[in-house]
Amino acid sequence: NITARKAAFTVLKRLRNNGYTAFYAGGCVRDMLIGREPKDYDIASDARPEEVESLFRRTVSVGAQFGVVLVMIKAHQIEVAAFRSDWGYTDGRRPDTITFTSPEEDAKRRDFTINGMFFDPIEDRVFDYVGGREDLEKGIIRTIGNPQERFEEDFLRMLRAVRFSAELGFEIEGQTLEAVSEFSERISRISSERIAVELEKIFLSPSPALGIRLLIQTGLSVGIFQHNFNEKSHGLSLLDFYGRSVSLEMGILLLFISDWQEAEQFARRLKLSSKSLGLIEWCRDNYSKLDCPDMALHKFRKLIADERFGFLFELRRAYQAFIGEPDDNLQIIKERQAGFAGKEILPKPFINGRDVINLGANPGPEIGDVLEKVYNAQLDFEVSSPEQALKLAKSLIEL
Ligand code: ATP
Ligand code: MG
């Protein structure tokens, strides 16, 4: 198992050995320069997509017409893109044709100066045509070129500016920030999928509250949330108080604190996965159960057996801490849960539907009812063997 870095180097080296120019490009260069482990490595090269494909055994043509090929090395995917002078546009569509160009022109089409550098790991050299190094040292997010023009090409860049600010703790440069405020309404032209990606990264950043605050200050929050958050919003204060990175679902629930309906509507508008939507709905349906720590044992076991329980518990814990009320109920639940450590919370049922039919139950909903009652009795330790379970089932059918 090799690291992403090693895999990327393998690809870069092979391109170079075959006479092509090839550099690390964009975000990974930024991360390497500030000593952050890059999440993924992108390579920019003068090799054409067909040429890249001929050099590697496993490639995926994600957008050959845009000059991009994915090279698969073990479990890693390295994106190899030709130096090109076109990027995605505001309407979400990519340009129909692209122009292959020089590294310098390629750099100038990227979004921010800190994202516009190349790195040659063989010569250990940085290529900086856009003043990225200086901004990286100063901790500044600045568009490459005129911010208004660059945002009009792709309004998502406004949200990316905020995202990088939250991730890196950098400040958005004055004119860039002004342009974000000027065009903030137009964020609504960007697809919800692209917005969700950036929003998730803001929540996962070390300081999500700072990111959300920037969204509010620039006016981006109006178009994104379609909700009037302000600096004093309860949800923002909660996020602030929580003070660390959160998942997208947790972030939404904290921000829309105790307004399940709005949280759900927002998640749906963002077109989150059915798993994410399911998580939010499950929390809504089960949240109040945490007020009754002495619920019946079978109910308790079903609750804590759910893989979403940890998330729900954390949500509630954050809220209780925020309002400054010690939550004795949560404490009781935790202790009750500890009693199940290392034990099977939901064991296999002693009997199944066939058994119930054999006892003479009418086919239909009765069978499910009986099974559930018997299983609850099993979880409550009221029956402790298949024989006892059958006996209970029989008596239920005869009722
Ligand atoms: P991350 O660490 O989250 O992956 P990143 O900077 O690598 O951040 P990506 O979305 O992976 O961001 O994009 C890789 C590079 O492509 C960026 O660093 C930037 O140079 C360029 N880029 C990405 N999106 C845009 C855009 N919308 N407009 C212009 N350039 C972009
Ligand atoms: Mg990246």
pLDDT tens across the length of the chain (399 residues) = 899 999 999 999 999 999 999 999 999 999 999 999 999 999 999 999 999 999 999 999 887 778 899 999 999 999 999 999 877 666 556 666 778 899 999 999 999 999 999 999 999 999 999 999 999 999 999 999 999 999 999 999 999 999 999 999 999 999 999 999 999 999 999 999 999 999 999 999 999 999 999 999 999 999 999 988 999 999 999 999 999 999 999 999 999 998 999 999 999 999 999 999 999 999 999 999 999 999 999 999 999 999 999 999 999 999 999 999 888 999 999 999 999 999 999 999 999 999 999 999 888 888 999 999 999 999 999 999 999 999 999 999 987
3-state secondary structure of 91: coil
Are 221 and 215 within 8 A, CB to CB?
Answer: yes
132 lines ligand 1 (CB under 6 A): no
Minimum-distance ligand 1 atom for the alpha carbon of 42 = 14
Residue 96 has a pLDDT of 66
Q: How confident is the model at residue 194, as a pLDDT?
A: 94
Here the tokens at position 3 are 């690291």
Identify the pLDDT of residue 94: 67
In angstroms, the CA 216 to CA 101 distance is 39
Say how many Å lie between the CA of residue 30 and the centre of ligand 2. Answer: 10
Pairing assessment for the beta strands 76-82 and 42-45 based on DSSP bridges: parallel
Q: Which pTM does this prediction carry?
A: 0.93
Q: What CA–CA distance (Å, rounded) separates 147 from 164?
A: 16
Q: Calculate how far, in angstroms, residue 112's C-alpha sits from the geometric centre of ligand 1.
A: 9
Ligand nearest to the CA of 26: 1
Residue 86: the pLDDT is 76
| Cα 333 to ligand 2 centre (Å) | 41
User: What pLDDT was estimated at residue 88?
Assistant: 62
Question: 203 to each of 267, 268, 272, how far by Cα in Å?
Answer: 14, 18, 15
Q: Are 162 and 211 in contact (CB under 8 A)?
A: yes
Our answer on whether the CB atom of 84 is closer than 6 Å to any ligand 1 atom is no
The domains found in the chain, sorted by start residue, are 1-138 (3.30.460.10), 140-272 (1.10.3090.10), 278-337 (no CATH), 353-398 (no CATH)
26 close to ligand 1 (CB < 6 Angstrom): yes
Name every residue whose Cβ is closer than 8 Å to that of residue 387 and which is 6 or more positions away in sequence: none
- DSSP H helices, 142-271, are 147-153, 156-168, 174-183, 192-204, 208-218, 220-225, 234-242, 248-255, 260-269
CA 197 vs. chain centroid, Å, equals 7
Ligand 1 probe mutation, 34, 68, 112, 115, most atoms within 8 A of CB = 115
C-alpha angle 237-242-246 in degrees, rounded to nearest 5: 110
